[in-house]
Structure 1
């Protein structure tokens, strides 16, 4: 065999592999200080993997996951310098830990109870009170009840529910319930709703992890069983929030009062739906949700005020650590603000990061960093893994990650311009900060909004450039002043000017929402596309060097994915009362002229199409309807939709390949059938057309599988049997 300088030809492939391995090892060692930032990403990946399973892992799987975690930790300690062991064990161990965290949280929840299917008289302990605007525009109280007992018939003597109930009182109910008291009311209860279509929003999973048993609507006035007692800390905070909301709305009785109560005490249920829709269309919905922006304003104002006050004392200014004292006071004020506003997830994440920033300030380290965000998200995932699928954590993490990474890249350029001789560059450097903050945070949240709402707001940058500074320098300072004046009863002096600013922001939201294409409907991104987006965003923000730019590719693929995914041809509600047909770029809904608003909104979110009614007698594109029968014409066989229980003509079965009968269960020979029993047993259905003539039929139970939070057919839960009587 010929040789060249003592090297055989077969040695070249091995040499290439060695060089590639060395190159990868060098690149990984160059990334070693940012590898820890991937811990929350991998934890979230393991949690998402658990929720994506179509079956429920048993105890054996949980023990296996725990064994993998322990083995990875042991290997990491034994071989800390071996790169494949270090990276492989980190990835595998973090994903297994995420699966184990989610499994543990899911299995420590109490089961759903079997709620009565009729009107029932109940009593419970009020732990939360909120005013809400109904579909008819009427204001009513919504109560969160714990230790609920049923007082009728066979339900008498049952132990109290281990889960809580949300009960909405009648708008004309004269009672003014307070947190901490016990009430009784006659109500009609319903379990958490099934998804409106396979793969849609899962209200049962959310209720499972929130400890909610179901929802109720009062049929008569409520009655207080006894006066408010000392109660728990939760009840005391709820009473404080309720009293503050009452005083705010007494000073500002209109929409301005509802928005003021939202940003000061987290009472967002009383905002009118048109106002909330205008804020959403203008890209200002984050102003109505207590999150990092509000907490940063509160802490910044308190820190500035405390530091200015300490500077008035010569001794404090010279000998005391004024900055550290002011930061600690700001953190305490921020914690109080988060508690009073209800402890929502974005505010908790921001409070975690604020606490880390204060600790870094006391230690002389950098206050705001990607490590602080990683630690905060890791803590939140460990405390409540289910939130990885919720909008609040996804938007909060995406926005903050984009802000930190973006300003790390732009800071040298903006700092250089700030000290330029040219006036226009100094002005541009100051204007660039809020502009880039809106672009970075809003741009990172656009794909998340596409996945959860199916909309895009193109004018969000312009609206935020005007509204956020107004919120920072006028609305929130007056709001804090109003809170400080409440003990002496002078809060109106501050609430009135606060209302002026809120009115201006509301006018801005209406103006921007009225612009052309202010709200663009798009098909919602699927869960796989959303995971791809976050993988690309994390690679782009957490990596180093030019290789991080490769994260742009998955981000673009995820954003463009709705354009290449075909919507379902036919969707059927889980209760069989509604069906939707996608035809001629419209979502045709029927039967009847009054569709369920919740189901319709979910269908529009997924399809991104405007809604219209199914024709009673007529044709739209390839759809024709007559006498309660609609046919979706197809050369391979029609899809027949029957919405009437009348006598079925024999022509219905001719030329069809799928029969959907909403009123009965009468099959046609040789045709696939979706009937009432199928909907009761399997939940919602969606029919897709794949590969030309192939029909793919998916049901809700097929997609979700047998999981702890998936209720039995009909919404049945665990029976709550009466207690045995003592002999």
Structure 2
């Protein structure tokens, strides 16, 4: 009796597994193919991943990294010729590699000498910029630097010197001399905090410090730096015409000179979430060029013969673009202004090419150009907040246009537009502002709704009018309305800042919070299809991680002059007056922005009790030579922090000036583990001693 051939069960299973795999690959390919209409919007995202990869490295790319990069590129290039989803994946990989390579190239191109020791002596240089430090003191940036006993090859390309309170600065372009204390750019005030050394590296600032003696002008500004000198004179003219109250604000938005803004005004603008009006960004550039475009187009329509023969829309776009370029020059061409001009440039070029001016594609092109030119801006709050607001606004208003939503009567639409745009921009930028500045403005929407329309309807047109009428000496007509608008904005800022609980502190997030949040938000805004809502999972995960952030129980400054201990009442600081910037940074990062004096009282109260104990260690802080000479012994449980060399006996652990110079600031985790700033920063060009 014959038996039927029974199936080979392993073969059947293998066939089913292969079929399931093919189905999965087919689904993935279909999902990727559905994104073909929005592929351009993902170009800056891929570039950003590559740039972020470079900055996350603990050491410079070595031979293994270059071999891996070469292998990835060689494997990805052939796949770009495929007609399925593999080509998209290959292009994404190549763009990530391009972002990495652009960051490497930029880091190499800006390389300049950095001071390697503390310097005291004569300093000479040419003033190229004037601004104010965190304490309100005037600060000069010098190039063509000369230092005594320092070889030309080792002189920093630029130095930044803070002047004594009440000092007057010479004109931009003048060659000056003074006696100053200089030091290398300092590392983070705590491990994982803002690294000024990286910022200074890309600005070619090789030293910073201060002077307490007058500035001597060796050579007045006579040649070179013509644009910088024009900005300086324009800023002074604006401040003289408008007076002390609004002159500094006007100089900031016209000439990019924030040195005239009073500290109390700056604090009010920050508390009301209106500080973005000071930095020349996409808002200012957009309002200015938009006003010029609209006004010129309306004016040309008054001449039918011209309007019917010429494309006045393109003529107006070209004129607005030219005005934007001039504004870029007279405002100082800072990174934020350059970024804003690129966005405006892309928008008006789209008009000239008969393409949609405001779209996610235009935003993507602008972001791509910015990242390729200055990859380091990816890490800056200005880039993140600017493009977060722009992307969200374009996406939300695009959705409103697609859905044809028009609530309420027509006369109410402009008001609703202002409210919606302020709310969307505020929500989009709030996480980034809170993460970088550790503060959240509760009435920011109210402040922006009351102030931003005045900026667009009064301040910008009045500034343009005053500049146009200056040629015939009638600029005071525009200045009158300019002053009214600025007084209104400052009044709104002070009123909002004075409201109860106008601002609250926010704990500094971990390093992965913002990348996860950004990626999740981009998936929601850019992805086509139901998978876009998966981005909300990444957003929720990032916020959950942020909410579980644990602050260090112990912080030690890089020079050993300040110690902070976390208590149930908040951080206790060992000193009430010294190391103000570090103390302010620590308290803000804790989400409890109290004064340094109040935090020092907590330390005093603890010291009067059983002592200051952290994770089984008694914390002893010694400052000054007298206290160091009086210190003779210690116990095994003691952790001694000193800003001067100690001659002691005992088994205790000591964090002294020599060790801190190598490690930078130090933090102790909740588990009692010590982490140093230089350990987290790694061996990078900007972090090497």
TM-score (norm. length: structure 2) = 0.91
Q: Does 1:299 align with 2:295?
A: no
For residues 2-81 of structure 1, the aligned pairs below 5 Å read 8=12, 11-58=15-62, 61-62=65-66, 65=69, 68-69=72-73, 72=76, 74-77=77-80, 79-81=81-83
Number of the residue aligned with 1:254: 244
Match of 2:221 among 212, 228, 231: 228
Q: Does 1:379 align with 2:381?
A: no
Task: Give a deviation string over 1:581-616, Cα, whole Å, max 9, x none.
Answer: 1101411111x3203221122212322124433458
The 2-side partners of 1:189 and 1:675 are apart by 22
Task: Give a deviation string over 1:508-540, Cα, whole Å, max 9, x none.
Answer: 111111222211111012221111011111111
Query: Residues 69 and 94 of structure 1 are in contact (CA less than 8 Å); yes or no, is this contact kept in structure 2?
Result: no
Match of 2:155 among 161, 164, 185: 161
Number of the residue aligned with 2:104: 103
The 1-side partners of 2:175 and 2:444 are apart by 45
Match of 2:587 among 576, 591, 604: 604
Number of the residue aligned with 1:353: 343
Q: Give the direction of change, closer, same or farther, for the CA distance of 1:6–1:57 in structure 2 (3 Å limit).
A: closer
Aligned residues: 678
Number of the residue aligned with 2:449: 465
The 1-side partners of 2:467 and 2:516 are apart by 44
Q: Give the direction of change, closer, same or farther, for the CA distance of 1:668–1:554 in structure 2 (3 Å limit).
A: farther
For residues 697-716 of structure 1, the aligned pairs below 5 Å read 697-712=674-689
Number of the residue aligned with 2:662: 681
1:618 Cα offset (Å): 5.8
Q: Does 1:143 align with 2:144?
A: no
The 1-side partners of 2:628 and 2:474 are apart by 65
Q: Does 1:217 align with 2:245?
A: no
1:38 Cα offset (Å): 1.6
The 1-side partners of 2:577 and 2:638 are apart by 29
The 1-side partners of 2:274 and 2:526 are apart by 28
Q: Does 1:537 align with 2:521?
A: yes
For residues 290-439 of structure 1, the aligned pairs below 5 Å read 290-413=280-403, 415-417=404-406, 424-427=408-411, 429-439=413-423
Number of the residue aligned with 2:635: 653
Query: Residues 585 and 609 of structure 1 are in contact (CA less than 8 Å); yes or no, is this contact kept in structure 2?
Result: no
Deviates further, 196-205 or 14-23: 14-23
Query: Residues 653 and 668 of structure 1 are in contact (CA less than 8 Å); yes or no, is this contact kept in structure 2?
Result: no
Deviates further, 451-460 or 212-221: 212-221
Query: Residues 281 and 518 of structure 1 are in contact (CA less than 8 Å); yes or no, is this contact kept in structure 2?
Result: yes
For residues 544-623 of structure 1, the aligned pairs below 5 Å read 544-590=528-574, 592-611=575-594, 612-615=598-601, 619-620=605-606
Q: Match of 2:236, SS?
A: helix
1:62 Cα offset (Å): 4.3
1:9 Cα offset (Å): 5.5
Q: Give the direction of change, closer, same or farther, for the CA distance of 1:70–1:506 in structure 2 (3 Å limit).
A: farther
Match of 1:640 among 605, 614, 619: 619
The 1-side partners of 2:7 and 2:116 are apart by 83
The 1-side partners of 2:9 and 2:602 are apart by 86
Q: Give the direction of change, closer, same or farther, for the CA distance of 1:681–1:159 in structure 2 (3 Å limit).
A: closer
1:646 Cα offset (Å): 5.6
The 2-side partners of 1:641 and 1:537 are apart by 46
1:625 Cα offset (Å): 4.7
Q: Match of 2:222, SS?
A: coil
The 1-side partners of 2:99 and 2:611 are apart by 47
The 1-side partners of 2:179 and 2:461 are apart by 44
TM-score (norm. length: structure 1) = 0.87
Task: Give a deviation string over 1:230-253, Cα, whole Å, max 9, x none.
Answer: 31xxx1111111111111111112
The 2-side partners of 1:497 and 1:298 are apart by 16
Task: Give a deviation string over 1:193-239, Cα, whole Å, max 9, x none.
Answer: 221111111111111110112224334333333343331xxx11111
Q: Give the direction of change, closer, same or farther, for the CA distance of 1:7–1:158 in structure 2 (3 Å limit).
A: closer
The 1-side partners of 2:688 and 2:11 are apart by 68
The 2-side partners of 1:102 and 1:648 are apart by 49
Query: Residues 124 and 146 of structure 2 are in contact (CA less than 8 Å); yes or no, is this contact kept in structure 1?
Result: yes
The 2-side partners of 1:667 and 1:570 are apart by 23
The 2-side partners of 1:542 and 1:134 are apart by 38
Q: Give the direction of change, closer, same or farther, for the CA distance of 1:610–1:168 in structure 2 (3 Å limit).
A: closer
The 1-side partners of 2:618 and 2:546 are apart by 25
Number of the residue aligned with 1:243: 233
Query: Residues 572 and 579 of structure 1 are in contact (CA less than 8 Å); yes or no, is this contact kept in structure 2?
Result: yes
Q: Give the direction of change, closer, same or farther, for the CA distance of 1:48–1:666 in structure 2 (3 Å limit).
A: farther
The 2-side partners of 1:70 and 1:367 are apart by 37
The 1-side partners of 2:556 and 2:117 are apart by 26
The 1-side partners of 2:332 and 2:396 are apart by 31
The 2-side partners of 1:546 and 1:431 are apart by 33
Q: Match of 1:94, SS?
A: helix
1:446 Cα offset (Å): 1.0
Number of the residue aligned with 1:88: 89
Q: Match of 2:273, SS?
A: coil
Number of the residue aligned with 1:718: none
1:287 Cα offset (Å): 0.9
Structure 2: which 5+ residue stretches go unaligned?
none
1:161 Cα offset (Å): 3.5
The 2-side partners of 1:658 and 1:144 are apart by 40
Number of the residue aligned with 1:283: 273
1:358 Cα offset (Å): 1.8
1:108 Cα offset (Å): 2.7
Q: Give the direction of change, closer, same or farther, for the CA distance of 1:666–1:167 in structure 2 (3 Å limit).
A: closer
Q: Give the direction of change, closer, same or farther, for the CA distance of 1:339–1:65 in structure 2 (3 Å limit).
A: farther
